[in-house]
Amino acid sequence: MTDSADRIGMKETTDGQYLEQASLEELVEFSRNTLVSSRVLQRAAKSVLYRARWQRAGFNPEGMKDLSDLRRAPLTAESDLVRACHPSPVKSYACSDVQMWFRVTGRGGATWWMPCGKQDIMRMLGLCRRMNRVVGISDSDLALVLSQPAPTVSDSLPYFLGYAHKLQSGARMEIVPLSVMLLLHRPAWAAFFLKRQPTILVATPTDALQLADILRKNIGGQSQTTSSTDSQTAGEATSTSQTSKAERRGPLERLRLALLFGSGISQDIQKVAQEYGVETFQMQGATDCLLLNVECQMHKGVHIWLDTCIAEILPVGETDERRTGADLQSEAVFLHEAKTGTRGELVVTTFGEALPLVRYRTGETVEVVSNERCRCGLSHPRVRFL
Amino acid sequence: MAARFRQQELECMPRLQIAAFQEEKLKQSRLISRAYDSALYRSSWQKAGFAPASIQNRADLRQVPYLTGGGLRDAFATYAINDILTSQRVRFWFCTSGTTGSPKWIPYTDGDLDVCEQTILRSMWLIGMDQTRLTWLNLVTPAPFISDGAAHFGIFAEMLCGLQNEHIAASPTEVATSLPLASARKPNVLSAFPSVAARIAEGFPEAALVETRRRFQEKKNFANLAAMLLARYKGIRVRDIIKLRYGIFSGESLAPYRQTIIDHYGLEPYELYACTEFLCFNVECSYHCGIHIWLDVCIAEIIPQPELDKEENTAGYIPQALFLDEVPIGTMGEYVLTTFGEALPLVRYRTSDLLEVVGTERCRCGRTHPRVRVMRRLDDVVNMGLVRFSILEVETCLGRVSHAGKVVNWQLRLERESCKPKPMLLIKAARSGAEQALLDEIRSRVFEIEVLRVGCESGIVANPDIKLVDEIEEVRTATSKVRRIVYGKTW
């Protein structure tokens, strides 16, 4: 750890690697302590996002003593965030000093703003390092990070990745940040990637496929788009996406893995795996909740980092999707208590500094893979995105 | 207000010590021997026949051949990248706009980023932005352009030194969607291309009218009615909504836009000079008498205009450069840069930027680093700030004119309409159809230069005037080379 990392408080936020390795019981205890002692909900109550809704629902965060009390809190839907930010976030939207603002585009196309405090940035840096460890990124890797222009989270992702290493250990990791939107107008840039040959691709599946298309059209790569079977289940996709490693078809010859983020991407992951012939890893929560949940090298589901959030599963079927949060809030089960095979919407309560998301409905339907310790050694529960 | 310094010893170093400091750094950084190992320099230096060990002080640098943008670009096309790099610990890559052909990709190590962070903080102290929590509105161009990275490096630099500012970043395509947030958060610092800031200011009254109308329709109350009437009859400027205090402007000369920006934003504008090849924040101080070039992080030279003319005039002539801190005030010439970079040091890199030296004595702010004014580009880049393209692109698109005639000769005159760049294209043509048809065809071909089309559509650049003329009054260089770009009196 460098002095500079120490100066900005990375030590306490990211030195806790033990949490990465902790048992499920320890993680749950950590979550409970964080929720209660860090007064996450009491801080959140300052935000206009929650204040009126919580009052209407008769929810008082002061009474929080245990995890189970969280289930009395109303759910937060994307529409609540959009409403709180319309026409723009008022001063009392964020709960503490904001360092950066990110715009999030929701599933319906509406946008809302996510404030990010200093501790939130520190957490992201720590999670970047954790992600690298979990997926097996080494110091000699070169990452091509495809981003959307500011003010999106993805615009900052390459710098979070880079500074996670710069500030902590100075460990090597070379990064080329790249807006795909610009690449569309400057296909000649692709010549550089072909020469430098990245080993890691970090992108949304859409951007990854677009890059492949640009490379193919402009550089004469030999890759061929292979469509995945739409009817394939996510589980099958997760496991079969790793089978095509041997067939390297893409022009990025040294590319060895792709980290794919965004919501509702499970179906497209297989396409990227086939397009590039690489091992793929799904990331979740990066662009809206400032979480970096990621699947490990076992490829048996995405680990939900329980030291950064409290996760619940809202067991809703398709017909229930329009029901209000008030009807549903008591039906959610904690992820760490959910049985394998439980299906439902992933709900997270983050420990965010600038704006904790309390019982935020991610809109992602998941299936619980396991709460048992994974073969990779980690106890953070795993879910499969459907 | 008393001047504030981040690194007073370095910033106010007596002028005579600067050369000694640079020479010490030249030795300590092993600049020449490291660079000699790079394929970028090796062969040209071998041809020049000097031994790295013979470069002991900065005057010895005159033995070293210049590096041009073309040379840098060619090296990346010719050699393996690892043979070019002088450190394998690259953290980030950024690239130039590539207006003169393929872009230049520039590597940065953590050490290189430290220099960048250091000069960012130095600039903030210099302007006086270290004393209070500030909210920034950063209008950045997306990665891999360096302004995207610079905004982030600034945030990390602030965090490292304990400043906690708030940042709203937006790329040019996202400005409209970010303005509501900006108006709510009341930023006090704007960082942008001057032309983009001027364009936003120009379109703001109309946008404000639309927004106040929408709000009144949404909620009919007295406040919304008053706002709508104000917007309609008096006009709302940015300064009426957002009380900005500082503006940091880079990417093009601030001078043509300075007054417009002051009028519309009511802020104090500061000009910043940096480039992708060397991300060092050189900025003017609050006396606004030129941009301070930090000589403790680089060795700066200038090739005076007469030498540039002589180079054009005499085949094979190698122009002589002078050290920036030693030239007379008023000297104009090309900026030549030597950096101590880790990933890829630039040694006598000709930036193609034309500078005017405005001061080499100690500034009233107390700093001793020389002050310059950035005039314009010297190469074949048509630089209209955010909108940049090459002469070759104009040549190519005009070469495609074929239906209503053919372009025989052309000249692009750059003027300004108010503060906005106004291209005027003079065409000598062999007509085979109606004049209007030919003009239409030329216009449509010119707009094949996408960045120009987008620049005009978004109002950053005024629509080009295209005129058919019988003869073009050619402007030639001393070597009789035709100058395609002519900077007019209003530029």
A333-367 per-position pLDDT tens digit? 999 999 999 999 999 999 999 999 999 999 999 99
**What average pLDDT does range A138-151 have in this prediction?**
93
Any chain A CB within 8 A of the CB of B217? no
CA of A108, closest CA in chain B: separation in Å? 17
Contact state of A179 with B143 under an 8 Å Cβ cutoff: yes
CA of A100, closest CA in chain B: separation in Å? 5
CA–CA distance, A364 with A385 (Å, rounded to integer): 7
Which residue of chain A has the CA closest to B108?
A174
Q: How far is CA A386 from CA A338, A366, B115, in A?
A: 17, 5, 46
**pLDDT confidence of B30, banded at 50, 70, 90?**
very high
> To 10 degrees, the CA torsion angle through A119, A122, A123, A128?
160
Closest by Cβ to B171, choosing from A149, A174, A185: A149
Contact state of B138 with A150 under an 8 Å Cβ cutoff: yes
Is the pLDDT reported for residue A158 higher than 80? yes
CA of B343, closest CA in chain A: separation in Å? 12
Most A-contacting residue of B74, B106, B174 (CB-CB within 10 A), to test interface: B174
Both tokens of B33, joined, read: 């021997």
CA–CA distance, A367 with A101 (Å, rounded to integer): 32
Which is higher by pLDDT, B334 or A247? B334
3-state SS, one letter per residue, for A354-372: CCCCCCEEEEEEEEEEECC
Helix extents (H) in B238-372: 238-241, 258-265, 305-313
Q: What is the ipTM of this complex?
A: 0.89
* A-chain residues near B164 (CB < 8 A): 97, 99, 118
Is the pLDDT reported for residue B481 higher than 60? no
Contact state of B81 with A196 under an 8 Å Cβ cutoff: yes
**What average pLDDT does range B392-420 have in this prediction?**
87
* A-chain residues near B92 (CB < 8 A): 158, 162, 174-177
* B-chain residues near A196 (CB < 8 A): 81, 93, 105
* C-beta separation of B254 from B262 below 8 A: no
Residue with tokens 């600067």: B18
Which residue of chain B has the CA closest to A87?
B180
pLDDT in tens, B199-256: 888 888 888 888 888 888 888 898 889 888 888 888 888 888 888 999 999 988 898 8
Which residue of chain B has the CA closest to A146?
B143
Chain B 420-459, residues with CB within 8 Å of chain A CB atoms: 450
Half-sphere exposure of A48 (CA within 13 A, CB side): 12
Chain B 139-168, residues with CB within 8 Å of chain A CB atoms: 140, 142-145, 148-149, 151-153, 155-156, 159-160, 162, 164-168
Nearest Cα neighbor of A294 from A380, A359, A179 is A380
pLDDT at residue A219 in the model = 65
Contact state of B159 with A98 under an 8 Å Cβ cutoff: no
pLDDT in tens, A233-279: 333 334 434 544 445 566 788 999 999 998 778 788 999 999 999 99
- Exposure of B209 by Cβ count < 10 A (0-12 exposed, 13-18 middle, 19+ buried)? middle
Any chain A CB within 8 A of the CB of B180? yes
CA B432 to chain CA centroid, nearest Å:
42
Contact state of B93 with A175 under an 8 Å Cβ cutoff: yes
**pLDDT confidence of A228, banded at 50, 70, 90?**
very low
Name the average pLDDT for chain B. 90
Q: What whole-number percentage of chain A has pLDDT above 70?
A: 82
Any chain A CB within 8 A of the CB of B82? no
Which residue of chain A has the CA closest to B153?
A159
Contact state of B143 with A196 under an 8 Å Cβ cutoff: no
Which residue of chain A has the CA closest to B89?
A172
Which residue of chain A has the CA closest to B105?
A192
pLDDT at residue A231 in the model = 33
* A-chain residues near B160 (CB < 8 A): 4, 7-8
Contact state of A99 with B166 under an 8 Å Cβ cutoff: yes
Q: Collect all residues with Cβ–Cβ distance below 8 Å to B207 and sequence separation of at least 6.
A: B176, B179
Contact state of B184 with A175 under an 8 Å Cβ cutoff: no
**What average pLDDT does range A220-230 have in this prediction?**
39
Could you tell me the sign of the dihedral formed by the alpha carbons of A18, A20, A25, A29, in that order?
positive
Residue A226: CB atoms within 10 A of its CB come to 14
**What average pLDDT does range A225-231 have in this prediction?**
34
pLDDT at residue A220 in the model = 58
Any chain A CB within 8 A of the CB of B74? no
Q: Compute φ and ψ for B206, nearest 5 degrees.
A: -65, -45
CA–CA distance, B169 with A155 (Å, rounded to integer): 10
Report which residue type is found at A95.
C
Contact state of A189 with B184 under an 8 Å Cβ cutoff: no
Closest by Cβ to A166, choosing from B110, B165, B169: B110
Contact state of A188 with B178 under an 8 Å Cβ cutoff: no
Contact state of A151 with B169 under an 8 Å Cβ cutoff: yes
Instruction: Choose the weakest-confidence range: A28-42, A275-289, B7-21, B466-480.
Output: B466-480
CA–CA distance, A75 with A321 (Å, rounded to integer): 13
Could you tell me the sign of the dihedral formed by the alpha carbons of B66, B67, B71, B75, in that order?
positive
Report which residue type is found at B111.
G
pLDDT at residue B51 in the model = 86
CA–CA distance, A102 with A152 (Å, rounded to integer): 5
Across A57-66, B111-120, B443-452, the highest mean pLDDT is recorded for: B111-120
Any chain A CB within 8 A of the CB of B213? no
* A-chain residues near B184 (CB < 8 A): 88-91
**pLDDT confidence of A326, banded at 50, 70, 90?**
low
The full DSSP string for B165-213 is -EEEEE-GGGHHHHHHHHHHH--SEEEE-HHHHHHHHHHHHHHHHHHHH
* A-chain residues near B173 (CB < 8 A): 149, 181
Residue with tokens 């997306």: B142
Is the pLDDT reported for residue A28 higher than 80? yes
Residue B444: helix, strand or coil by DSSP? helix
* A-chain residues near B169 (CB < 8 A): 100-101, 150-151, 155
Q: Collect all residues with Cβ–Cβ distance below 8 Å to B396 and sequence separation of at least 6.
A: none
Most A-contacting residue of B87, B91, B146, B224 (CB-CB within 10 A), to test interface: B91
Which residue of chain A has the CA closest to B91?
A174
* C-beta separation of A76 from A49 below 8 A: yes
Q: Collect all residues with Cβ–Cβ distance below 8 Å to A166 and sequence separation of at least 6.
A: B91, B110, B113
Is the pLDDT reported for residue A3 higher than 90? no
Contact state of A186 with B98 under an 8 Å Cβ cutoff: yes
**pLDDT confidence of A329, banded at 50, 70, 90?**
low
Size of interface A-B (CB pairs under 8 A): 144
Any chain A CB within 8 A of the CB of B39? no
Q: Collect all residues with Cβ–Cβ distance below 8 Å to B435 and sequence separation of at least 6.
A: B468
Which residue of chain B has the CA closest to A149?
B142
Which residue of chain B has the CA closest to A5?
B160
